[in-house]
Structure 1
Amino acid sequence: MTPDGELSIHIEDVAPWKPPDGQPGRGMLLRTNRGDIQAVIHNDKSSKTSKAVIWVYGARGGFVGPGNGLYTELAEEMKSQFTSLRLDYRFPNDIPECVMDTLAGVSFLKATDHSEIVLVGHSFGGAVVISAAPMSEEVKAVAALSSQTYGAS
């Protein structure tokens, strides 16, 4: 928390992490002042891009849903066009903390020269991305899929 009571998060380090079995992409831990965030990045290292998508899950977090792997499939299929980052929540179903996790993902992408970021959220994740988007000028678009509105500001 900042001195004026605002929530804040910053990345202190990025470390390798092994994603769950069967998950494509490169796993990493975003080590933040609020705890570690597990993430999987999908990119084509031979194709430099400033465009990225952060895929945000429902209330339980994880890396499987929605649609039994839709985000994973899309991230892999489109990695030659843009970078994808899939995040797991530190505290699932806690909108302020999930927003902080999403903003940490934005911060990571910004630090890796991504200036055009899209946030995609499913169900609870829709409220998360709607809430997170106005907090970063790098976020250019939001897609809320089967979203709830509770918690969205």
Structure 2
Amino acid sequence: MGRQRGGGARLAARTRWRMRAVEILYEADSRGIGGERVLSERRERAAADQEAPRLPAYAEQLVRGVVEHRRELDAVLQEAASGWSIDRMPVVDRNVLRTALYEIRHVEDVDTAVAIKEALRVAEQIGSSDDPGFINAVLDKAAGSL
């Protein structure tokens, strides 16, 4: 995955949770396995090792939501990403997009503008895209199609 940039300690809790969700989805996507399997592996590791970080409930909710609604999310993103297929997008970018779009469409207490801003922040922190404008444009168009 991309490089982690400085300032992680100053990030809001929900931003860190979103980053954790994207990391799990990235791992699942890269390994060609389900997000639920990666969640299970992470829980097992945390149970076996007291030093292993626990996964916040909101990060799990995001992973499960993206997994459950992936076809729907990918269809909307495919339509919004003119000229880009989901499979051609960098793995991190497509999972940042999926996570943000899941929040926009399925998490009632997250405003669309906040979801887009947070997606850009996560992408910046994990060093996914050299062009945050791509993520912004796709999410803006996807949100506008609701």
For the superposition of Structure 1 and Structure 2, which TM-score range results when normalised by the shorter chain? 0.3 to 0.5
The TM-score normalised by the length of structure 2 is 0.38
- Structure with higher RCO (Cα < 8 A, 6+ apart): 2
Q: TM-score, normalised by structure 1?
A: 0.37
